[in-house]
Amino acid sequence: MKLEELLEGVSYQILQKPAGEQEAKENGAADKDIAEKDILAIVFDNRKVTEGCLFVCVKGMKYDSHEHVEEIAAAGAKVIVVEQEITLPAYPEVTVLKVASTRYAMAFIAAAWYHHPAEKMKIIGITGTKGKTTTTYLVKSILENAGHKVGLVGTIEIIIGKEHIHARNTTPESYVLQEYFSRMAEAGCDTVVMEVSSQALMLHRTQGFVFDYGIFTNLEPDHIGEGEHASFEEYMACKGLLFRQCKVGIVNGDDVHCDKVLEGHTCSIEKFGLSDKNDLRATNLHLVKKPGELGVAFRAEGLLNLDVEVATPGKFSVYNALTAMAICRHFGVSDENIKKALLAAKVKGRIEMVKVSDKFTLLIDYAHNAMALESLLKSLKEYEPHRLVCVFGCGGNRSKIRRYEMGEVSGNLADFTIITSDNPRFEEPQAIIDDIKTGMAKTNGKYIEICDRKEAIAYAIDHGEEGDIIVLAGKGHEDYQEIKGVKYPMDERDLIADILKERADRHKHTIGEERHGKICGYHY
């Protein structure tokens, strides 16, 4: 592809160009020699430089490829895009272009490289502190029920047709994102639903295209600290960037930060929530409790009018459902399809109920900090369980404060806590458990510590009482346990299945022994 095509819409300065070409100009688009260069690949990882590529230098938290431009040039890069004053006299054949932000420029370059695939589909971007993952799956479920082919980009995975790709980031780098868009368009997708993190917005990963629909779920203090956002104000401002890059904004009108997030928006706005001021409202909320299952039902009014039941518990499930409904109505989805999809949809590791017994309810959730755990446990307590049992641990090589806080939350809200291991990483699991107990000590909460996670889950199942709600918190969708730098396979669904099989086998063995004893004339 010609360099001119790749740089369309990108402002740049030429710092260096091959000898013999005409003198540099501020506006490189007018420089024919440069514009006509053939680019064979786009690269932003210096380990993957190829002959004839355009390389984009990117600054990370721990690594800055600007410091390795000579190596990049030596490896065969034809054009290097930088945001610093850099020249390469030892490599006079290399063109060096300076831009204000290499990440911003890369987003546009990547979109051009893949021939602007976002323009061939409807793009839905969902941002917010909580609810992003669940809502993406709800939207995908509803739209596919209505006959659409939907690609998904999210925290758990990327879905392209029948292909499921493990996600490294909530929102991938712009080049990777455009590659996914291209593959989705080629696979026949007419719609993409994706999670948009505040980090992605701050780092320009979603530039180079316009979202058809931008969604705001809610906002709470999170992702603030070293390597993330400097303050809550910055976090909030980054969330708001989505509404300067979409055609229609669909937002939670009940959230106290909604107006602040929308400051400077350039899109039309629709609001959803529980209060009367919203365009789409949920009324007549009531909890649904069935043997081994929990849910919530409500009446939608305003832009849609229908009765809905969701097979996940809590008020936040109502908001997630409203968000999905507010989006899908723009696609002309029938009321029946919406109702059917909301009732059937399940999201791995997000208030995911696993049927173990009619006697008690068991669910898996990703709640891995105090804020998320508190929200989850408070929602579950509304169902007035016989006991609320919380099984959780905390990650190693992370803040001890998180451990204290989660211990205190579970001690205050759960009737019984089983403290176990999560991802200890390079710490000793017992040391992490001891930190959690420090938080528990501030409460009157009852607890037991069982370091092995499978044994902890088995204990919870074996001691489940009639009417209990048992929640396995922290791992959610994760299918591994990280110990000493190694990720060992471990999926809680598999652990539960193994436990149930072991109990069934043990029961069969016991029955067999009893029968043998009777035949032999004695009883155990």
CA–CA separation, 252 and 201 (whole Å): 19
Are 57 and 65 contacting, i.e. CB atoms less than 8 angstroms apart?
yes
Tell me which residue of 81, 113, 68 sits closest to 12, measured CA to CA.
81
Are 262 and 246 contacting, i.e. CB atoms less than 8 angstroms apart?
no
SS3 388: strand
Are 151 and 184 contacting, i.e. CB atoms less than 8 angstroms apart?
yes
pLDDT at site 292: 87
Helix (H) or strand (E) holding 158: strand 157-160
| Pairing verdict, β 306-310 and 293-302 | antiparallel
Q: What share of the chain is helix, strand, coil (3-state, %, to 5)?
A: 35, 25, 40
Helices (H) and strands (E) in the chain, counts: 16, 24
pLDDT at site 229: 58
Beta carbons within 10 angstroms of residue 411's beta carbon: 21
Domains, the chain: 3-111 (3.40.1390.10), 117-344 (3.40.1190.10), 352-505 (3.90.190.20)
SS3 64: strand
73: left (phi over 0), alpha (psi -120 to 50) or beta: alpha
pLDDT at site 20: 58
pLDDT at site 170: 87
H-only helix segments in 193-255: 198-202, 232-240
Instruction: Return per-residue pLDDT of the chain as tens, 524 residues.
Output: 999 999 998 999 999 988 655 444 444 444 666 778 899 999 999 999 999 999 999 998 788 999 999 999 999 999 999 999 998 999 999 999 999 999 999 999 999 999 999 999 999 999 998 889 999 999 999 999 899 999 999 999 999 999 999 998 889 999 999 999 999 999 999 999 999 998 899 999 999 999 999 999 998 865 455 556 567 888 889 899 999 999 999 999 999 999 999 999 999 999 999 999 999 999 999 999 998 899 999 999 999 999 999 999 999 999 999 999 999 999 999 999 999 999 988 888 999 999 999 999 999 999 999 989 999 999 999 999 999 999 999 999 988 999 999 999 999 999 999 999 999 999 999 999 999 999 999 999 999 999 999 999 999 999 999 999 999 999 999 999 999 999 999 999 999 999 999 998 887 766 555 544 433 332 22
pTM: 0.88
CA–CA separation, 438 and 46 (whole Å): 45
Beta carbons within 10 angstroms of residue 126's beta carbon: 27
The distance from CA 522 to its chain's CA centroid, rounded to whole angstroms, is 59
- State how far the alpha carbon of 154 is from the alpha carbons of 126, 169, 228, 375, in Å: 10, 8, 19, 22
